[in-house]
A and B are shown apart, each in its own frame.
Chain A
């Protein structure tokens, strides 16, 4: 069983919809939770990160972490066609950068249609 599970999709939604993307994990040592966005034939780029439990909001994006359930979510409000990409969750016990071996989910492919 993988340490991080993520539904690969694809997920297709109409423009303006609220999108919910989720990951579950099994390693209790994970403290840092990240969401990356990856456009086709590009490298992943960090969207948001959260330390421990709680919510974090940045514009149309909200990240939630529920450590008791080992469940994290990314919500996208008022989705736009430019949001069409693969969204990867990533987790680490030690941080987001230096010396931090990130464990990634497989990614969920999102398509926002006009």
Chain B
């Protein structure tokens, strides 16, 4: 496809379970970002990848959150021992490497509900 894709689109889990969220960036985009969108909180930056490395993971809220990127393409965000406050929409974005004036293209998000 032409855009950023994310899976699953919706995820319902029980408190304490682990979840994995997947992001497929636009082909050829080397920069990848994860954001979290909570009700009334706006988008909150989580982590940024340049290729397979993560120069900025300052937004990860706790050590229960981790992310990896393999082959400079697909990324997985893992939340361990989920809590109810983790319920949110998790958005992935990607951009080309080349200039500061690049657009971040967002996927449709994964809606996570922790019961």
Task: Give A contacts to B, CB under 8 Å.
Answer: 4, 6, 8, 32, 41-46, 49, 51, 88, 90, 94-107
Contact = CB atoms under 8 A, between A and B. Distances in A.
Main secondary structure of the interface of A (DSSP, over half): loop
Contacts of B12: none
B45 A107 contact: no
Contacts, number: 79
A90 B44 CA distance: 11
B42 A100 contact: no
Nearest to B92: A43
Nearest to B95: A97
Contacts of A104: 35, 42-44
Given A32-B100, A94-B100, A105-B42, 4 more contacts: A43-B107, A96-B100, A96-B104, A103-B45
Interface string B78-115: 00000000000001010111111111111111000000
B71 interface: no
Chain B, interface residues (CB within 8 Å), range: 20 to 34
Nearest to A44: B106
Given A101-B48, A102-B45, A43 B108 contact: yes
B14 interface: no
Nearest to B41: A106
B8 interface: no
A101 B42 contact: no
B55 interface: yes
A95 B107 contact: no
Nearest to B55: A99
A96 B40 contact: no
